[in-house]
């Protein structure tokens, strides 16, 4: 493999910043993505398929995304790929949530 997800251990990329006393989740949405992903992945998708799904993210998006943004990408990809939810249903829920925050 030779993608953005395989950069670990390569020289010249600088140190990995370590946040002192870093929380497990930086915001509530990350905890929700973790819970939804864990519940879905454990019941429907093997670990190899979930990793492969996150690796389908375009390289520029992958490198600029947070850990849980990658989890969300994989979750949405697998749910739509396996016809458990449609892209339109995802978009409708995004719209609904964004209107409730206003």
pLDDT in tens, 35-80: 999 999 888 888 889 889 999 999 889 888 999 999 999 999 999 9
Residue 81 in tokens: 């790929």
On whether the CB atoms of residues 74 and 44 are closer than 8 A, the answer is no
Provide the 10 A C-beta neighbour count for residue 3. 11
Burial class, 9, CB count within 10 angstroms (exposed 0-12 / middle 13-18 / buried 19+)? exposed
Tell me, what's the pLDDT at 17? Answer: 79
Q: What is the pLDDT of residue 2?
A: 60
Tokens read off for 41: 């992945």
Using an 8 Å Cβ cutoff, are 84 and 45 in contact? no
Per residue, the 3-state secondary structure of 68-102, as one string, reads HHHHHHHHHHHHHHCCCCCHHHHHHHHHHHHHHHC
Q: Any idea which residue has 């947070």 for tokens? A: 66
pLDDT tens per residue, range 2-39: 665 555 555 666 777 788 999 999 999 999 999 999 99
Question: pTM for this one?
Answer: 0.81
């Amino acid at each position: 493999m030779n993608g953005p997800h395989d950069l670990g251990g390569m020289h010249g990329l600088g140190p990995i910043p370590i946040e002192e006393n870093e929380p497990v989740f930086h915001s509530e949405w990350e905890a929700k993505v973790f819970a939804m992903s864990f519940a879905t992945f454990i019941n429907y998708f093997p670990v190899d398929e979930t990793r492969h799904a996150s690796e389908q993210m375009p390289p520029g998006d992958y490198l600029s995304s947070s850990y849980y943004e990658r989890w969300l990408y994989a979750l949405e990809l697998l749910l739509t790929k396996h016809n458990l939810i449609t892209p339109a249903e995802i978009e409708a829920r995004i719209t609904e949530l964004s209107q409730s925050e206003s």
